[in-house]
Structure 1
Amino acid sequence: MADQAPRNIVVIMTDQHRADLTAREGFAVDCTPALDRLAANGRWFDRAYTTSPLCVPARISLLTGRFPSGHGIHGNTGYADPERCTDLIDVLDAAGFRTALVGKNHSHLTAERLDHWVEYSHYGRLPRTAATGADREFDDWLRAHPGTTTTATPYPLRHQLPVRLVDEAIRWLDTAAADERSFLWLSIPEPHVPYQLPEPYFSTYTPETVPPAATSFDVLADRDLPWQYAGRLAELAGEADPDVLARARANYVGMLRLVDDQVARLVDHLETTGRLTDTLVVALADHGDFAGEYGLMRKGPGLPDVLARIPLVFHGAGAAPQAVPRTSRSRTCSRRCAS
């Protein structure tokens, strides 16, 4: 498997996913067992960093191989025409892959450039009219609850976006002819806000079972204006309330597990259908999330490690297993610069 060129490539991107909240890095809650298994049987990197703690610049960097200073996109607007030569889809087209996006785009890619396109946002299917029945009702519920929910989501697990996205991904992967090569960008819009969970995840991941953050809201008093401004916005939104913040952090960790369970379902399907051995699975995120550090959620000021460092795992064809993480030589510099 290590020397085998992959027939299929599946890139699983999560949104706003912190790298350190995983058992393989010592986190007390085992919320990413499937990702940990992929890492243990593949290669993983504990010093992988995003090019930007914002969605669009980071995603365009992934697709173009350029830093934001090279592609020219520094924010989440005005990104239709970055500076680039070929991008990942051009390379895959030239190599004979059929291509698909299933999930969140938030990049310069457009539907006509890929063979298959099923787009979602943080609030469900796009366009909104593409969802029907209870799926559409759930999407509307997400739009009405854009922050942190302090009670269990009143819709069953099957309506959650990661479940529906993996359903879509499996359907498309199963349409491949025997001689076709497939590339799938499975772009899961979570654990990004809205921070919400259905049962049984809501009752499993609670402020009592999820360890508190290492830092608190009080440290913002010693930080500069952008940090204090972020803290003030959190206060005005009610997100700095200790009970709300603790529930938001618990929901975030529970969302990691919900997403991970769906990753496991996809990997199990590839294995059951005999395709896992010739598939390269790449799991990564666009950037991190405060997830309670500094009394904050989401993203914002500065480049702390919790926003800049991302999970990165390669598993399968072409990725020789390695029991320990691939680590940069300058660990001391990485830690100092990210503090």
Structure 2
Amino acid sequence: MAPRNILFLMTDQHRADTLGSYGNALAATPVLDELAATGTRFDSWYTPTAICTPARASLLTGQAPFRHRVLANHERNVGYLEDITPGTFTFVEALREKRYNTGLVGKWHAGTEKNAADFGFDGPDLPGWHNPVDNEDYLGFLRERNLPPYAISDRIRGTLPNGGPGNLLAARLHQPVEATFEYYLATRTIELLERYAADVDRDGTPFFLELSFFGPHLPYIVPDEFFDMFDPADVELPKSVIETFEGKPPVQRNYSAHWTFDTMPIEVTRKLIAVYWGYVALIDQQIGRVMDALRRLGLVDDTAVFFTCDHGEFTGAHRLHDKGPAMYEDIYRTPGIVRVPGAPAGQVRGEFVSLVDATATILDIAGIDPSPAVDSRSLLPLVRGESPVWPEEIVCEFHGHHFPYPQRMLRERRYKLVVNPDSVNELYDLQVDPDELINVYAHPEMAEVRGRMMRRLYVALRERGDNFYHWMTTMYDVGDVDYDPTQSGLDETTYRSGERVG
């Protein structure tokens, strides 16, 4: 019998290279590594956009960001929609119609006026982008267990261009692990899992349960055990820490100043990475508690398990922190693991897949038509070891954070093209420059690759209905077009039936 239950494990701002299963020899991630060893690890899993709310709205709807139009985080919104338009398809409402129990414990951040409960999720209401340590349910959790409140020291931050203190990047948390927000989230998830397991036993009601951690998003605030888990001397800095921004869009240098990279010694960068790895280890430990509960409740053989995140994190790569208007692998390529009972174990798939594809996969597992998730494709054929026809490229997008900043990216196996309307475009040869340090867009020898990829991106955007292509029509060689790119509707001598006649 195919599995019907779904446990969806999600983190926020999580680099793929923090996991042992993705090649980090120092990582303390035995639980997620075991999930990869017993399931399918995707090596080319991408976010549709490296920003929290739009990515999460894409997971919810199965739509690319340009289509659902929730394009920025509430906290830094610059005029975009803040909630999914009423009537938009969501996978959770489809599951509810199929008589699923549906729960979400942790970060929602997929809208502002509407919370997770408005879409049919059980679980505590936990708004915002960071651990809401003043949330009443969490405070009650601490009181019930006589645990100490949130308190921090050893803050790490740089100096802003205007001379003010930079964003908090990390701090030492003066609470035992049992009092951390991560432990609280895992506990509430286990409680809901036990409730759902009782329904499975009573009448076979299936469930979808998502545990969504707020971390390892910065600031990395963890107890001593994890703050000091890794020796900074053992941390290998990302090679792109030598970034010069030469030939790159100037906004990247500005973002580096915003994140105060050059105002902190390189030893601080090593410590930040070490604490970030410690934060990942804390989360892995708490996921382990949930996986233990899944086994204890006898649900392993009938439950598909996902692990992924909304997007990545720089942690010093390209002299940046957080995320922003730079479409580097550090924030677009993320971990993605799927375990489906009965499917081959220990697979590694290299196909280009997306967080958006998780939507159709969830629906497919539930026996629901995935076609309303219009930009999503079920991963089940890949998880089952099949060899379906699959795209050899992926398109990603960005719309701004702090300020509007539209970008589109086409990623092939070897090359990546980024179109930046306000600035220089970018082209990277990832075979010879995996760290994306050298922008070869203007190099004469790249003319064929540049032209081919520009034309392919143009066609892909038109096929999707992403109007970004209009800018490309007039600015670049995109090949023959079958419409009047001026959109005037007046110059009938210029275009007729797609052919230039004047």
So what's the TM-score if we normalise by structure 1?
A: 0.88
Q: 1:84 to 1:139 in 2, by over 3 A?
A: farther
Match of 1:278 in 2: 302
* 1-structure distance, mates of 2:233, 2:133: 36
Moved more, 197-206 or 115-124: 115-124
Which of 288, 312, 317 matches 1:288?
312
- Deviation for aligned residue 1:46: 0.5
| 1:336 maps to amino acid | Y
Q: Secondary structure at the match of 2:233?
A: coil
1:202 and 1:115, CA in 2 relative to 1: closer, same or farther beyond 3 A?
A: closer
Deviation at 1:61, TM superposition (A): 0.7
Partner of 1:15: 12
2:189 equivalent in structure 1: 169
Counterparts of 1:244 and 1:270, CA distance in 2: 39
Structure 1 residue 228, shift from structure 2 partner: 0.4
Whether 2:149 is the aligned partner of 1:129: answer: no
Residue-by-residue CA offset, 1:292-313 (whole Å, 9 max, x unaligned) = 2122221122110110011111
Aligned to 2:116: 110
Structure 2 match to 1:100:
103
- Cα 1:290–1:138, aligned 2, differ >3 Å: closer, same or farther? farther
Counterpart of 1:269 in structure 2 is: 293
Candidates 221, 242, 245, aligned match of 1:220: 245
Cross-structure match for 1:336:
415
Which deviates more, 115-124 or 285-294?
A: 115-124
Alignment match of 2:216 (pick from 170, 177, 191): 191
| Equivalent in the alignment of 2:348 | 325
Runs of 4+ aligned residues of structure 1 deviating over 6 Å after TM superposition are none
Q: How many residues align?
A: 332
Contact 1:162 1:259 in 2 (8 A): yes
Instruction: Flag structure 2 segments of 5+ consecutive residues without an equivalent.
Output: 75-80, 157-166, 352-390, 394-410, 417-427, 429-435, 437-502
The answer to which structure, 1 or 2, has the higher relative contact order (CA under 8 A, 6+ apart) is 1
CA RMSD of aligned residues (A): 2.7
Query: Counterparts of 2:266 and 2:414 in 1: how far apart (Å)?
Result: 28
In structure 1, give the amino acid aligned to 2:265: D
Normalising by structure 2, what TM-score? 0.61
Aligned residue runs from structure 1 range 146-161, under 5 A? 147-149=168-170, 152-161=172-181
Contact 1:28–1:211 (CA under 8 A) maintained in structure 2: no
Counterparts of 2:141 and 2:116 in 1: how far apart (Å)? 28
Structure 1 residues 84 and 141 mapped into 2: Cα distance closer, same or farther (>3 Å)?
farther
For 1:215 and 1:287, the matched residues in 2 are separated by 19
2:199 is the counterpart of 1:202: no
Give CA-to-partner distance per residue, 1:154-174, whole Å, 9 cap, x none: 111112222111100000111
Deviation at 1:133, TM superposition (A): 6.4
* Mapped partners of 2:169, 2:262: distance in 1: 10
Distance 1:159 1:86 in 2: 37
Task: Output the amino acid matched with 2:412.
Answer: C
Which structure has the larger Rg? 2
Q: Cα distance, 1:20 vs. partner?
A: 2.5
Match of 1:51 in 2: 48
**Percent of paired sites with the same residue:** 29
Give the unaligned 5+ runs of structure 1: none
Deviation at 1:83, TM superposition (A): 7.5
Output the amino acid matched with 1:299.
Answer: K
CA contact (8 A) 1:148 1:195 kept: yes
- Change beyond 3 A, Cα 1:263–1:335: farther
* Structure 1 counterpart of 2:281: 257
**Letter aligned with residue 23 of structure 1:** G
Secondary structure, counterpart of 1:44 in structure 2: strand
Higher helix share: 1
User: 2:38 touches 2:345 (CA, 8 Å); kept in 1?
Assistant: yes
Residue 215 of structure 1 aligns to a residue whose secondary structure is: helix
Structure 1, 325-334 or 198-207: larger mean CA deviation: 325-334
Residue in 2 that maps onto 1:61: 58
